Structure 1
Amino acid sequence: MDKHRQHGQDDALPDHVTQDAVVVVPGIMGSTLHDTTTGKDVWGIGGASWLLKAWTLPSGLKSLTMTEDELEGRTGRIKATGLLRHSVWTPYLAGSEPYTDLVDTVRTSVADDAAILEFAYDWRLPVAVNGRLLADAARTHLTAWRRHPAHAEARGHRVDQREGRLVFVAHSMGGLVTRAALDPAHDGDLQGDTRGVITLGTPFRGSVKAAVILATGRGTPVPLPHRRLRAMCATMPGLHDLLPQYRSVRAGDDVRHLTPSDVAGIGGSAELARNAARFHHAQQAITLPGHRSVVGVNQPTWQNLTISGGEVEPHPDGPRQNSDGSLVRDRQDRVRWFRVHGDGTVYKESAVLTDTVTHLPLQHGEVARARTALDAVTEIVRDDVNPGPPLGEAGCGLTAPDLVEAGRPWKLRLTDVAALPGLSCRLTDLDDPSRPMHLTPVWEDGTATATATAPAPGLYRIDVRTPDGFTITQLVMAADPAGPRAEAED
């Protein structure tokens, strides 16, 4: 038996094992990065201590800023070294969770570890660039897998005995990278060699949060981490590729598209925004073979925005269109606003391309980590034609600050909660997960609310379990209240 085999010592493979090769593609900030010029790891290092230093020290994330050479296409200074293995906090994005559980889940469905490719990439770069790299890596991976002894064994125990193909499992931005990789211009045969694409919370039509990040704190004091993120992303092509491509800007009694001049006005790059719009337009013609979406729902999510004086005000609701493309209006001919929700980062309709969708009440990072999402991935990788739980509303919505001050109380709010019995909340210090702090939900102005206090600086996870068995989580960073503020940075 091959030394990589993970299915025990029996000669026969389990019936559920696929002969296909699986490519796991992480989201933005989901790959660890290494600076080749300094020899230092610059993103994805474990531990709250590193996170606090990265977001507060003057040189903390300096290596991640795009250089002129990189903007002109001369890349290689920063190398992606692997998928995220530790929880990492980022302002606005509520943290990125490790992909260990996702990879381990895929491992239970393949014939050998060699069937899995963990595709790490420099998420600062344009999605188009990473798509080309993924196309090449996927082709190399499939060719090598088809020559592997375990591939022949897996084919022999399947009913159809077909040759192995590719299955992409992509989280967030990873879905955009996967779609770019399947552009026939890169590899005309790659689509035909792909059995399926599973996307987990992918913002196919963009996210308002990308615009908020670019505009945050311009001319006003804000917490240092948020301002540092804005400065880092201002010239980052990857972030601009996540800008909303749907009609997202409220303008009087209408809603229009975000323009390159809008992006420049809020602190981004007009050129990068223009490139992103062209890229997304061209991507619409690309078909994702066997595409199935796992989409987070029920979480309050920004859907559109107002721009005034270079500042952005996000809104948790948006318009809907009639069949002729006009906006739905009320009897006074005013635009009606609908709260569609989503996963807290990507609103639901931005993450859906086809009718084959599994809706789960999860936040963005958890869409690639929660047990319910992993169960859906397993069924799809194993070629189940009816993956995941049925569509429908479940769980609850979680709203909490992403940055709090250690030692000071703060509140989290839960939406779509009918009763408090059976609802549990806790706050866990990830450096000491054995001692979670239990929180008591109460009604406050008709909303289920809990008060929490992080006793010391560090990274914490909120866990909310609802009576119907769903768990909703979010990462929160607790900073030293005496620490540096943004206005001291410059």
Structure 2
Amino acid sequence: MNQSWGGTLPNPSPHTEPGLTPAVTHDAVVIVPGIMGSELYDTTTDKVIWGLTKGRWLAKAWLTRDGLTPLQLTPNELAGDYTRIQARRLLQIPAWSPFLRGIEPYHKLIRTIENTIAHPDALMTFPYDWRLPVAVNGRRLAHEARNHLQRWLAHPAHTAARQRAVDEKPARLVFIAHSMGGLVTYAALTLGGDNDLPGHTRGVMTLGTPFKGSVVAANILNAIQGAPLPLPHTRLATAAATMPAVHELLPSFLCLEDGLDIRHLTPSDIADLGGDKDLAKASQDFFTTLYNQQLPHHRPVVGIRQDTVQSLKIINGIVYPSEYCFRTDTDGEIKRDPNGVPRRYRVWGDGTVHRESASLLRRTIPVFAQHGAIANGREARRIVSDFLLEDDHLGPDQAEDGIGLNVPDYVTPDAAWDCLVSGTDDPSQVECTIAATEGDWHKNVQFEATDDDRLRAKITLPDQGLYRITAKSDYGPTVTQLVFSGPGQEHLDD
């Protein structure tokens, strides 16, 4: 059996075992990555502007004056001309973004799926320009998924695999979508212009999709307002203010604390915190239409027990996020204490998307994972593999107990910072390492218990670059996160 991924998968060469029907699906599978999960190429300059294959491109993107300028939407793009940028393939190496933190490539997920399908041609990856409106990418996905299914139905390997299937039905589509990719899939199946596509889809599995948005998107846009943050954050805000997709990730749930009132963000609020009022209004109109449609055959995987911002206040134009949310009664009224003060609930999430935003359904499949790494995590990949092999809906698995990981998104070399672990107060139960994503540097992390039933370790990194923290408890899955180490504010090019 293939053990290279840290868990058991179907045999990569199932046809070699005599007497056994191969443990594979004959369906056609589509991987839809999340925001920043696709490499972007500028056709006018003949340059890759996001996702180069060498790690030092990150420093150039975030730490030089014009590093993110090519990502800003031009007037022509805002008017609907999307020919400048091509999304040529999925992200090839780890990346990092302020607030969104680490973004892992999809190699492990791809290998898992390749070991679970009848032939490599049954898999299609869908890189897309994640700056653009979800509706634009949804229409393109609908078209390309239809073509992929037609090619696979005509493939000799499909004919052979179909004969081994229990019901021998022709192949259907299965979408595996991470983060914003779930919204793109939702739009493709409901507003993509192919009314027959839902009927030709067996299932949709979303991994950490912000169906109701994320407060993190408000943080991204607000960095331009002058909060005391490093320049990489303000540079992202400048680019993000032009991006329809970032406005489509803003929270649509009751999240804004306004005195004793809890309300939705309005386009005016979004303009005040640094976004674009017109893009915000267009986003709200789009989701009003989208939410009137049902996402068919949906199975949501959600990250849990990771510290996640869930609400915010806006004071003098500055966003102050909080790691609690608010809930309503069945009549839609905010839950309040006897003094009329809104009750605060902490439901956690995956570090970016809080749990209640990550599903359109009450029933979910929970995993202990950070947002950028959820698609590559061992537990999620096992769930994806099981999902692909299903003949009938057997119900969701339950998550093991596990730990949460909380780290800064931006640090500087030689400056100590806190790495926090929740879910245990026993240092002996956690093994943790930090390693450079390029090069051989690594070290073990030693934790101490804190007064708030967490573990804390002080970490100092030797140099600039991207580092991966890996934490594992004795009783649950491994949790990872990427941390970017760059120069201090005084050394940044403004």
| Shorter-chain TM-score tier | over 0.9
Aligned partner of 2:206 among 199, 202, 207: 199
* Partners of 2:236 and 2:430 in 1: CA distance: 35
**Map of 1:32-431 to 2, 5 A cutoff?**
32-183=39-190, 186-383=193-390, 385-386=393-394, 389-391=397-399, 394-431=401-438
Q: Secondary structure at the match of 2:308?
A: coil
Task: Tell me the CA shift for residue 221 of structure 1.
Answer: 4.7
Tell me if the contact between 1:294 and 1:367 (Cα under 8 Å) persists in the aligned partners. Answer: no
Percent identical among aligned pairs is 43
Deviating more after overlay: 49-58 vs 291-300: 49-58
Code of the aligned partner of 2:448: V
* Partners of 2:299 and 2:46 in 1: CA distance: 40
Q: Secondary structure at the match of 1:183?
A: helix
Q: Secondary structure at the match of 1:247?
A: coil
Code of the aligned partner of 1:309: N
Task: Tell me the CA shift for residue 329 of structure 1.
Answer: 1.1
Q: Secondary structure at the match of 2:435?
A: strand
Task: Tell me the CA shift for residue 435 of structure 1.
Answer: 4.6
Task: Tell me the CA shift for residue 46 of structure 1.
Answer: 2.9
Tell me if the contact between 2:242 and 2:276 (Cα under 8 Å) persists in the aligned partners. Answer: yes
* Partners of 1:95 and 1:472 in 2: CA distance: 12
Equivalence for 2:450: 444
Task: Tell me the CA shift for residue 470 of structure 1.
Answer: 1.6
Code of the aligned partner of 1:478: S
Code of the aligned partner of 1:113: P
TM-score by length of 2: 0.94
Task: Tell me the CA shift for residue 355 of structure 1.
Answer: 3.6
Tell me if the contact between 1:47 and 1:431 (Cα under 8 Å) persists in the aligned partners. Answer: no
Code of the aligned partner of 1:276: S
Task: Tell me the CA shift for residue 238 of structure 1.
Answer: 0.7
Code of the aligned partner of 1:460: Y
Code of the aligned partner of 1:437: K
* Partners of 2:263 and 2:362 in 1: CA distance: 26
* Partners of 1:137 and 1:289 in 2: CA distance: 18
Count how many residue pairs are aligned between Structure 1 and Structure 2.
481
Task: Tell me the CA shift for residue 469 of structure 1.
Answer: 2.9
Task: Tell me the CA shift for residue 287 of structure 1.
Answer: 2.1
Where do 5+ consecutive residues of structure 2 fail to align? Answer: 1-10
Equivalence for 1:459: 466
Task: Tell me the CA shift for residue 354 of structure 1.
Answer: 1.7
TM-score by length of 1: 0.95
Code of the aligned partner of 1:219: G
Where do 5+ consecutive residues of structure 1 fail to align? Answer: none
Deviation string 1:35-89 (CA, Å, 9 cap, x unpaired) is 0001111111133321111111122122111100000001110100101121001
* Partners of 1:420 and 1:483 in 2: CA distance: 36
* Partners of 1:482 and 1:334 in 2: CA distance: 40
Task: Tell me the CA shift for residue 184 of structure 1.
Answer: 5.3
Q: Secondary structure at the match of 2:102?
A: coil
* Partners of 2:302 and 2:259 in 1: CA distance: 31
Deviating more after overlay: 101-110 vs 64-73: 101-110
Tell me if the contact between 1:88 and 1:96 (Cα under 8 Å) persists in the aligned partners. Answer: yes
* Partners of 2:395 and 2:321 in 1: CA distance: 34
* Partners of 1:334 and 1:111 in 2: CA distance: 57
Tell me if the contact between 1:15 and 1:158 (Cα under 8 Å) persists in the aligned partners. Answer: no
